[in-house]
């Protein structure tokens, strides 16, 4: 009997870069994402934020549940942490920034263990990101911070940029895909890995 993986399955992501807004929502709705508890206050907040956010938070909860067995190859950059440090509400800034550092530590541990990252290719990814920057290949993105975060993701070797920024970077999925990295909402990532779900549980 062959125990080979079904080659018709879509490839699992090598490394997933978390946009700053994803980190913030993981913290804001952490009880639901990690403990499956949605307080009345959180439910009201989700309703006010709209259907897209609610769908993506629910997808994040499922993704995190799937990742409990083997962990997810996720990444953030120093620029992500810097953006979290600029949150205007000091109390929220303290908690979200601490949460961002936890994710950064998790990513660093993954690097040490080799999960989701081929260190021998590190220089290739970094040189490619520099080439994109020098040739202004991301000039179509209206916000400089989006360009820089995307370059961070490419330099780290990520193949997925996970975002809940529906008004900016997500709108340029097609152009960005031509650069070798996929921009996805959590619901799209969940749909992509759904055929693997039974193996990941």
The secondary structure of 46-105 as a DSSP string is: HHHH-HHHHHHHHHHHHHHHHHTTT---EE--HHHHHHHTT-SSHHHHHHHHHHHHHHHH
Is residue 156 in a domain?
yes
Count of domains for the chain: 1
In this structure, is residue 120 part of a structural domain?
Answer: yes
96 is in which domain, residue-wise? 16-200
pLDDT at 5 over 70: no
Of 3 and 130, the one with more pLDDT: 130
What confidence score (pLDDT) does residue 70 get?
A: 59
Instruction: Please tell me the predicted confidence (pLDDT) of residue 114.
Output: 64
pLDDT of residue 106: 84
pLDDT tens-digit map of 51-62 = 999 999 999 998
Asked if residue 71 belongs to a domain, the reply is yes
Q: How confident is the model at residue 83 (pLDDT cuts 50, 70, 90)?
A: very high
């Amino acid at each position: 009997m062959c125990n080979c993986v079904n080659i018709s399955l879509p490839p699992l992501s090598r490394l997933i870069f978390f946009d700053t807004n994803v980190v913030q929502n993981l913290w804001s709705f952490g009880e639901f994402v990690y403990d499956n508890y949605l307080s009345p206050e959180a439910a009201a907040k989700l309703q006010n934020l709209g259907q897209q956010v609610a769908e993506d938070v629910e997808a994040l909860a499922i993704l995190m549940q799937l990742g409990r067995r083997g962990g997810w190859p996720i990444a953030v950059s120093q620029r992500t942490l810097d953006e979290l440090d600029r949150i205007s509400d000091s109390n929220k800034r303290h908690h979200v920034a601490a949460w961002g550092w936890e994710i950064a530590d998790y990513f660093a541990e993954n690097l040490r263990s080799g999960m989701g990252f081929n260190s021998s290719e590190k220089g290739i990814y970094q040189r490619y990101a520099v080439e994109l920057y020098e040739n202004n290949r991301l000039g179509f993105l209206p916000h400089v911070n989006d360009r820089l975060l995307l370059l961070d993701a490419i330099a780290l070797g990520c193949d997925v940029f996970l975002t809940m920024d529906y008004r900016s970077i997500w709108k340029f999925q097609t152009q960005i895909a031509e650069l070798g990295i996929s921009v996805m909402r959590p619901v799209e990532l969940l749909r992509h890995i759904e055929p693997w779900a039974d193996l990941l549980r």
